[in-house]
Amino acid sequence: MSLVSTFRVGRLTCHTLEGGQQRLDGGAMFGVVPKPLWSRQIGADDRNRVPLALRCLLVEHDDGLVLIDTGIGNKESDKARDIYGIENTGLAGATQLDDALAELGFTATDVRFVINTHLHFDHAGGNTMIPEGSGLADGDEQLAFPNATYIVQKGELEFGGRSNERLSPSYLPKNFAPVTAAGRWRLLKGDAEILPGIRAVLTPGHVPHHQSVMISDGGETACFLGDVVPTTVHLRLPWIMGFDLEPLVTLESKRRLLTQAEADGWILVFEHDPERGLGTVVKDGKSFGFQALES
């Protein structure tokens, strides 16, 4: 089965890359929404966990390959892999993200820019890697994309580095500290053009400095949503994750982003939806619904 889905935004060729799967608690994924409602949309296992994709986006740009988010990577312990239901091992010891790149004829060394929506372990875990055979000891981490500049909001890097009991399970220094040590960050301050046709847009709420990524060319636009709308089920405006630190801020980020997406016909990339990675939105009463791309 292919790990890649290709589409175009103007003259830019884009590929969704299936980087594996994780499972997270359904109650946490849907916050105050009762289980009898969310379970009609997505089924839970016997540990009340729902399946979630680890979908990344690769853009073939004139300035080099751009990878948006990096999945979980290969540094998690067996215990963590069991708790979070992580299934992302690829062929010959690689990760599934490596396999998806290989399907397109690329390797990690070809990537020139890595953009993180934020630094949670399931979005930035693949920033760094453990070489095969070195174990999981702290300090063994290396840059997974050795020729890349890594890009994130300055506030997000600072926020993720201020560990506390609520943040520490999600912000793992092994995923971003080696990038700092290597001097490979490009830090943004708010909405910013990253490259011609690729722009970061602040969509706070999940965390204070979360960003989504816009790809625009030839009058067409795609948006990599990150965790502002993690699955198509979360297109319903009040359906917000319990993980979100500021759910009312998320609500307004969603309203603003989806209103513009519907009006302008954007392609949306859903990072965590287990089945539907690409689509557009349509108005559904006071909220929004999913519409598949036309063939």
Residue 82's CB: how many other CB atoms inside 10 A? 12
Q: Compute the distance between CA of residue 202 and CA of residue 189 in angstroms, rounded to an integer.
A: 9
Q: Which residue is associated with the tokens 């998690």?
A: 76
Q: What is the pLDDT along the chain (295 residues), one digit of tens a residue?
A: 899 999 999 999 999 999 999 999 999 999 999 999 999 999 999 999 999 999 999 999 999 999 999 999 999 999 999 999 999 999 877 899 999 999 999 999 999 999 999 999 999 999 999 987 666 666 789 999 999 999 999 999 999 998 789 899 999 999 999 999 999 999 999 999 999 999 999 999 999 999 999 999 999 999 999 999 999 999 999 999 999 999 999 999 999 999 999 999 999 999 999 999 999 999 988 899 999 997 6
Number of domains in the chain: 1
Specify whether the CB–CB gap between 19 and 100 falls below 8 A: yes
The enclosing domain of 281 has a CATH number of 3.60.15.10
**pLDDT at position 270:** 98
Residues whose CB is less than 8 angstroms from the CB of residue 275 and which lie 6 or more positions away in sequence, other chains included: none
Selection from 22, 9, 89, 92 nearest residue 57 by Cα: 9
Query: 173: domain range?
Result: 4-291
Strand-pair partners of 115 = 68, 151
Global pTM reads 0.97
